[in-house]
């Protein structure tokens, strides 16, 4: 049986999604933004069944992983025994 993990979005990750949606909507329209955000969220939720992928970032804790999404977004997340926490969604054009 395959173990599944709940995927939780941090407050900052939710802000990142909203900012990204606004940026894409401004540049390319609401339909394109909606489609992109749906694909991004689906990618994040795919971590439910195989969360220990990507590579580790060099951070103080050593437990932040990152995977890419469509060559424009870096998904930063942590895997615990109980869940996957999406920490940040960083867009290549807009780095904080």
Q: Tell me: the pLDDT tens digits for 26-55? A: 999 999 999 999 999 999 999 999 998 999
Domain membership flag for residue 96: no
Domain membership flag for residue 32: yes
Domain limits at 55?
7-91
Cite the DSSP H helix spans in the chain: 11-28, 30-45
Helix, strand, coil distribution of the chain in percent, nearest 5: 40, 30, 35
Note the pTM of the prediction, 2 decimals: 0.89
* pLDDT tens, position by position, 52-85: 899 988 765 668 999 999 989 999 999 999 999 9
Instruction: Count how many domains the chain has.
Output: 1
Domain membership flag for residue 77: yes
């Amino acid at each position: 049986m395959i173990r599944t993990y709940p995927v939780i979005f941090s407050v900052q990750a939710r802000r990142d999604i909203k900012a990204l949606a606004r940026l894409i909507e401004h540049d390319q329209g609401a339909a394109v933004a909606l489609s992109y955000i749906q694909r991004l969220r689906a990618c994040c939720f795919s971590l439910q069944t195989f969360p220990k992928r990507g590579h580790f970032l060099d951070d103080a804790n050593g437990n932040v992983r990152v995977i890419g999404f469509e060559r424009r977004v870096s998904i930063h997340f942590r895997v615990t025994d109980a869940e996957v926490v999406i920490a940040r969604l960083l867009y290549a054009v807009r780095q904080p």
